[in-house]
């Protein structure tokens, strides 16, 4: 298990992006969280197998129907097993 931390930029707030990310993560059986940041970006933290996380990054690039994703910055690390599910933080 590894951990990824992503910062997603573009038109990603107010367009159901967090719900899309959560639905995608649950579908892929990942754990972690997604939340809006004050600078207009979205933070995504997820833990799982590397090949599944790489697939999740593709989902993040696509985004919800109304989203316009400009970039997804990804940092990889060691999973801390701190999550039991994938949640939306407010």
Cα 76 to chain centroid distance, Å, stands at: 13
Residues marked active site are found at 18, 36
What residues contact residue 52 under an 8 Å CB cut-off, 6+ apart?
Answer: 28, 29, 30
Tokens of 12: 């990603």
């Amino acid at each position: 298990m590894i951990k990824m931390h992503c910062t997603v930029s573009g038109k990603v707030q107010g367009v159901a992006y967090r719900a899309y990310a959560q639905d995608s993560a649950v579908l892929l059986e990942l754990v972690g969280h997604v939340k809006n940041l004050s600078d207009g970006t979205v933070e995504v933290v997820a833990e799982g197998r590397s090949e599944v996380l790489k697939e999740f990054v593709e989902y993040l690039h696509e985004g919800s129907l109304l989203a316009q994703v400009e970039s997804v910055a990804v940092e990889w690390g060691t999973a801390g097993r701190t999550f039991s599910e994938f949640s939306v933080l407010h």
